Structure formats: structure tokens, C-alpha cells
Chains A and B, each alone.
Chain A
């Protein structure tokens, strides 16, 4: 754990300068499709009469845009993207990385400091316009659509007695029948083990656990437990103090029947 949190400061020490570039979504999608070593294009940095000009050219093979939906898009991504350079004015931006080489062992490293900010803009071209239009069309489709059906839906039409419910009901009844009164000792054992797990129980839950008829169960409970209105909505049963044996409690006495 001592390593965790330790930041590798090599990048900062070397004062590695990096560029922060804002790239349009479609371009990053295209870049994600790059193959091989990940070459996506060429960056041209020039000095035109004293001003730096940076432009990015997308590789030819990455210009095919897949569009959602049926038709293959005839749209191609624009290739030329001039960069707009900006300064890193009011902020000091540093870049850090998290590496998860092994599970739960995060290595945090400071890679460097941003020295230049840029925005990648597509050069306005027909291609781009078409691309944008496609995007807009896709976005303007509503998420929900009302459709008119020709035929009424009959697949989930329920019969009078729901089959599923019916079956379940019958099964339950068969299985349980009327809850039979088991031996009192057995019931007590069941209750004590239940109360070992939790202190307060609802009567319904106890019935579930013990599978006893309610009145019988209540009789037994009256012997060994108390019904308290705890101040919360449900009124719950708990063991009598002398029967309790919880950790935080002073009274410790096992019940004997």
C-alpha cells in the first residue's frame, strides 16, 4: 500500500511538453478504426510568414464513415483539418496517467505539462457538410417512436386465470397445505436459531421461517418473547431479555424450556 498513491514524477521533472488537442467526435471515431500501428494521418507543421500553421491530414483509408442504419453512407470524412492554436493561459495543465498493470495496483505517473492547446477543425468542404447533415438527421430522430399497428397484439393476452399465477398458486397450496403444528420444542429451536441471526422479527417473517400457523406461533412467542412497538412502524417480536444472548448485552441466559 505504500506504493499506491505514489506519483511518478519523471515526466514533470523532464518538463515534457505535450499538446492538448480538441478533436471532433467523428474524427476520434475514425481514429478508433485505425489498424496496425495506429497510424491515422499526417501532421503538417509549417511556418508561413512567421505564423505557425498546423494541419492534420487524415489517412485515406480512414475516411469511410459508417453510419448507423441501413444504408451505407456515401459520406466521407473530410481529410484536411487545420489546427487552431491556443495558449494555455489561465491554467496550468498537467497530464497524469493511471496504469492498472495488475488489479488494485494503480500506478500514477505524471507525464508532462501542456504547453500548447489546439483545436482540430475540419476544413469546410462538401464532404463535411454532408457528414454534418447525416449527423443531424440521426440525432433528430426521436428516441421513442409511436407506431401504428395493424393487428392488435394478442401474444400477451391473458386468459381468465393467469396461467402462471394459477400454477404457482396451486403449487404453493399443494406444498404447504395448512401449516401443521410441529412439535413445540422444534419450533422453539427454530425460533432461537432465527433470533440468533437477527434481533427483531416481524410475525410474518417468523411464520415464513417456521411454517407454523400464526396462532400457534404466537402462543409460543408469547412465552419466550415480547412484542414491542419499537417506535418504528412495524411491530416486531423479540426474545425476552432472559433468553437473549447477544454480544452487546449484559443479560445472558439461555432459555430453557
Chain B
């Protein structure tokens, strides 16, 4: 060691040695400063490689030799993998993470992951000062980042997701782990003893809580109840989820259809669109989608301009149908001929009114409805002139199957509607097709121009009074007030209005409905607006 004198600086010189023969391999152990690790406080430490990844690479050997094995299976697997280009990385022991345990079992645990890319472009050296004053430099072989491992119990991913869903309801967060521990307790009583930081607290809480379980867990009970409810309701409503699904599907499809039809006339798009849609009672398929498709195809043949009523009718009914998929409506196949038009209509109806209605579908007494349907083996009930979009509560609310003669009603309704329109403006291109007709891409030719604009008008918006389940009682009376309300809220076509006031609900026949509605409209004298080539009425007040 030589010391050089300098003017204002003093420096000392040390020799640097890089020892050649090194059996020792140096590595860096990096801790996060937040963990406040002080190596000097460690009394005892154990460190081993974490071999838990070995099986991933080694592969699971099902059975070796004798029973269950195939001759040459390994080679074949190997060849297969090569053929597909699957490259399995080797299991290198040096790259495996370390498990470091401080102060025995009760102490901290760390897991050290190897940091890649350390020795690629630059080398790290450890400079140690030797007793003789010289420095010795050792190259660093690997860098491991050590992170502390949690010893307290944590939730698994699924549990975490569950809790996340309930986060708004749960107030007592301590009990979350408590519950989990109780669950585990059933399997093994040992778990209780191992506790993390909150261990003591939780134990006490547990014991105290047990006594005060009732107290603390009021919310919990409610929560559980709620979940139970949902569970049970899920079970009960066999139909419901499926209905909802089908409804959702239907909705999606309807939307698709709508879009398609809106942009072009009768775009014959995906056949799959129709699959989920429920055809109607007539077609025997309750839940088979293909048949639904077929039926619709059949219905296609029917002439399109059956009129609003029929269209609405079908839709309504079809909506119900969908909901009652599970219940297995019995369709009268014999009357398929008749039914096909009805189906069409139903579908149309369903399509148009479906969205809002069916979505809000809640407690439809599916079984009752199915029973009804089964009993009434006859022409599929047609909604009276596609009244209202009270589809949701259809099965329940409709007292018995509506028996409306589609043909006649449609004519009447259509006539009425057209009269209305004529009275005010030019007649819009003829046959009001069901809104669905537009959507039903399967009926390109049949359904003429769809005069109604679908969804945007009332359908998408769930109409609370009519839409929500509640059965039987006709909540909607065909009054001027009601019509005014609707028209103020949003522009509607005649068809929409008619749908709003379904015959079942109002107790009027379709003819009457039409007449009354016409009168009301005359009285109200609403503004007219042409949307999508359809005449919409609206009021501004």
C-alpha cells in the first residue's frame, strides 16, 4: 500500500486482486428496504432451492411400466411435441428460486427469484477489503430478489372474487377470514393454531364472535341470506336464468337483426341469429334452437303483411315462449300451418317488444304458464293486437291464453292504424309489418317495409308499469292519460302504442283497443315525426 501525497487531496492506493481459483460462487441477495431486513439480527437461517417447478418440466408420469402404460409412449409424446413445435424449457436448478427461512419455523420466510439479465452486458464484482489492505474482487454469479412470504392466511382467487362482489354489503371485514377459518375448521382443527399477524385478534374475535355471533353477523346473515336467496331463486327459477339467457340472446340477436334491417332491406344475415329465439308453442320444440330456425323458415313462407297485430301477437307470444322454454310448452304440431304465420308474428312481436320486456322478466310463474299452455292445446294464443310491451309478465299476467284471431285483428288494427295515419298524413308504405319483421331477416320478401322502428321506441326502455312482472292485474288502462304519458316520454308509432295496451291488460278486445286508441290520438293530436320511415307520434309538454 503506497500513499501518495497530493496537494489538497490525499489518496491511498490499494491493490486490486481478482482471485483465480474460486470454488465459491457469489450471488447477491436483494431485499426491499421497506421490509427492514437486518442481517445481523438473524440468529439462524436456512436456505434451499425451491423445487416446486420441477414437475412442470419433468412432466407428470402417469404410470411407468406394467399396468397402464403403453409401449413407446414417451417417444411418441416426444415426437408429437416436436411436431407441434412445443418446446419445453429445461429445468435448471441454478435458475430456481430460493426459499430462505429466518430463525426457524416461526420466523420470517423469503422467496428469492432470480433476476435475469444481470450478467449480460456488464459484470458485477464484489470488492472486499482483505486484512492486508488489498481489495479482492469476485464476480457476481446471480442476483436474487428476496420478497417476504405472507404467513397469514389469504383468500384464494375464487374467494377473493366472491368477496369483491360483496364488498358493498360487507361491513365487518374481519369476519371474512373468520368465516373462512370456520370452514377450514370443519376439515381440520389444526388450522386454527396457525395464524398470521392478526392471529391473536382473530382468535379472540372468533371466540367472542361466537358468542356474539348473532350480533356481529347480522350483516353476515343477511349477506348469506341474500346469497342464499339468490341461490334458491336461481334454483327455483329454472326458467329464469335460462329465460334470461334466452332473452339476452334474443335481445342480442334482435339488436343484430335490427341493425341489419335498418341498414338494408332484409339482409339475410346469420342464421344463427334466430337460433335462440323461441318459436312458439306450436312448434314442438321447446328449447331446440334449430327447430326454431326451421319454423321461422316455414313462417317465412307466409305472406308477410299479416299486419301489426299478428306481428305483435307473435312477438308477445314468442317472448313468453322463450321464457317458458324450460317448461316445455307443448306445441300443437297439427296446427302448424296456422301457426306458422302466428309464429312469424310471434317472433316479430318478440323481437320488437322483447328487449325491454323480457329483460325485466322476473317472476313469471313459468310453471303455471306452461300448464296453461299445455292445457290449451290449440292455436297458439295470440296477443291481442300486440298490445303493450308487457311481455315480461306475460305468462303470469296473461290470464289464460289470449285467443285472438290474428287475421281479423290484424286487419282491424292495421286498418285503424292506417286510418289514423291517413287522417293526418300520407299513408306510409302499406303494410305495417311487425317491427320484428324487419328484424327477421328470414322473411325478406314476406314482410314488407317495417314501419315501426324497433327498439328505440319504447321497447328498449323497460316500461316499469307494464314491463315488470307482476301478474294478472291489468295495470294499464287505455286512457288518454296513459297515452299522453307515453307520447310525452318518447315518440312512438301506432304499433308501439298498441303494444302498450295489450288486450289482456286492458280487458278490451283488439278492435275496441284500436278504436279507443284512435279516438285518443285524435283528441291528443300529437306531433308527427318520421323516424326510419315510420311515423312516430310524440307530445311535448
Question: Are B123 and A23 in touch, CB under 8 angstroms?
Answer: yes
A98–B13 Cα distance when bound, in Å, is: 31
Chain B residues lying within 8 Å of A177, measured Cβ to Cβ, are: none
A123–B65 Cα distance when bound, in Å, is: 66
Beyond A12-B40, A20-B28, A38-B19, whether A199 also contacts B69 by CB under 8 A is: yes
Give the 3 A-B residue pairs with the shortest CB-CB distance, closest first. Answer: A46-B11, A246-B67, A12-B39
Question: Are B14 and A18 in touch, CB under 8 angstroms?
Answer: no
Chain A positions near chain B (C-beta within 8 angstroms): 4-7, 9, 12-13, 15-16, 18-25, 28, 31-32, 34, 37-49, 53, 56, 89-101, 108-114, 118, 194, 196-202, 205, 234, 236, 244, 246-249
Question: Are A110 and B33 in touch, CB under 8 angstroms?
Answer: no
Chain B residues lying within 8 Å of A246, measured Cβ to Cβ, are: 66-67
Whether B523 is near chain A, meaning CB under 8 Å from some CB there, is: no
Chain B positions near chain A (C-beta within 8 angstroms): 4, 6, 8-20, 23-33, 35, 37-40, 42-48, 65-72, 100, 121-128, 135, 137, 139-140
Chain B residues lying within 8 Å of A4, measured Cβ to Cβ, are: 48
Tally A-B pairs: CB < 8 A: 206
Beyond A99-B23, A197-B66, whether A92 also contacts B9 by CB under 8 A is: no
Question: Are B66 and A19 in touch, CB under 8 angstroms?
Answer: no
- Tell me, rounded to whole Å, the shortest Cβ–Cβ distance linking B167 to chain A: 32
Chain A residue nearest in CB terms to B126: A18
Question: Are A24 and B127 in touch, CB under 8 angstroms?
Answer: no
Main secondary structure of the interface of B (DSSP, over half): strand
- Tell me, rounded to whole Å, the shortest Cβ–Cβ distance linking A206 to chain B: 8
Chain A residues lying within 8 Å of B100, measured Cβ to Cβ, are: 7
Knowing that A39-B16, A95-B27 touch, tell me 17 more A-B residue pairs with CB under 8 angstroms.
A5-B46, A5-B48, A15-B40, A18-B128, A19-B126, A23-B124, A31-B137, A41-B16, A44-B12, A45-B13, A46-B11, A91-B32, A94-B39, A96-B47, A111-B126, A118-B127, A248-B68
Choose one: A24, A91, A113; the contact of B33 (CB below 8 Å).
A91
Chain B residues lying within 8 Å of A249, measured Cβ to Cβ, are: 67
Question: Are B124 and A37 in touch, CB under 8 angstroms?
Answer: no
A90–B42 Cα distance when bound, in Å, is: 21
Choose one: B4, B25, B33; the contact of A97 (CB below 8 Å).
B25
Question: Are B70 and A34 in touch, CB under 8 angstroms?
Answer: no
Chain A residues lying within 8 Å of B28, measured Cβ to Cβ, are: 20, 93-95, 114
Question: Are B66 and A93 in touch, CB under 8 angstroms?
Answer: no
A110–B26 Cα distance when bound, in Å, is: 10
Chain B residues lying within 8 Å of A114, measured Cβ to Cβ, are: 28, 126
- Tell me, rounded to whole Å, the shortest Cβ–Cβ distance linking B443 to chain A: 46
Beyond A18-B128, A97-B25, whether A39 also contacts B17 by CB under 8 A is: yes
- Tell me, rounded to whole Å, the shortest Cβ–Cβ distance linking B23 to chain A: 6
A93–B44 Cα distance when bound, in Å, is: 18
Question: Are A21 and B137 in touch, CB under 8 angstroms?
Answer: yes
Question: Are B69 and A48 in touch, CB under 8 angstroms?
Answer: no
- Tell me, rounded to whole Å, the shortest Cβ–Cβ distance linking B28 to chain A: 6
- Tell me, rounded to whole Å, the shortest Cβ–Cβ distance linking A208 to chain B: 9
Choose one: A24, A31, A93, A101; the contact of B30 (CB below 8 Å).
A93
- Tell me, rounded to whole Å, the shortest Cβ–Cβ distance linking A165 to chain B: 21
A53–B26 Cα distance when bound, in Å, is: 27
Question: Are A38 and B18 in touch, CB under 8 angstroms?
Answer: yes
